[in-house]
Amino acid sequence: MTSTFHNEIKLGEVNYRLSATTDSDESMVLDLLGSLDSGEVVADGRLRLPVEGGTTIGKLLARVLGAHTRLRSRASRHANANQPWTESLDTELRTTWLTPTDAPSPTLIRSLADDMQRSPTAIRARLARVGCDPDVPGRELSATAAVLLGGKSGATQGKT
């Protein structure tokens, strides 16, 4: 015996129609069609899976698609993420870090990240590259620490 379930929803400008059909061979076929009011198809696909796995696969799809949607819809919090560092930005970062302050390292890193529109992780990584100890504001990297962190030591900063 064959049974079919249909559901429709409109999200934004797209009309989605999903149908699930089970047949006598114990498989389920999911058909999805997404179209604009003009009739243009923007999404379509078909999945065939065992009936007994339907609920589990549905949960898996919901998790995967939900995570993907959140990643794609999240505006970058860091406007300069993935932008190249310039010599002037490196100088600004180094100068600010080496200026005496009472702020603890995490606070200063967050402040620099906000000011430079980059992530705290990017700031921390770049500090070592410009010869600054990312754990202690105001301190340059020692030669040993520079080797371990892949940066320049304070003594070699500015030399090429």
Task: State whether 105 and 63 are in the same domain.
Answer: no
On whether both 17 and 67 belong to a single domain, the answer is yes
Q: What domain range includes position 32?
A: 3-73
Q: Are residues 137 and 107 in the same domain?
A: yes
Both tokens of 65, joined, read: 């698609």
Residue 157 lies in a domain: no
Note whether 12 and 49 are same-domain residues.
Answer: yes
Q: Is the pLDDT of residue 118 over 50?
A: yes
What pLDDT, on the 0 to 100 scale, is given for residue 61? 84
Same domain for 92 and 34, yes or no, is: no
Domain membership of residue 158 (yes or no) is no
pTM of this prediction exceeds 0.85:
no
Q: What is the pLDDT of residue 63?
A: 87
Does residue 155 lie within any of the structural domains? no
Tens-place pLDDT, residues 30-73:
999 999 999 999 999 998 888 887 888 888 888 888 887 776 65
For residues 121 and 106, what is the distance between their CA atoms, to the nearest angstrom? 10
Give the length of the chain.
Answer: 160
Domain annotation covers residue 78: no
CATH code of the domain containing 61 = 2.20.25.110
Query: What pLDDT score does 159 carry?
Result: 47
β 3-11/14-22 pair status: antiparallel
pLDDT in tens, 68-84: 777 665 566 788 988 99
**Domain count across the chain:** 2
The confidence band for 160, taking pLDDT boundaries of 50, 70 and 90, is: very low
69 and 11 share a domain?
yes
Q: Is 126 exposed, middle or buried (0-12, 13-18, 19+ CB in 10 A)?
A: buried
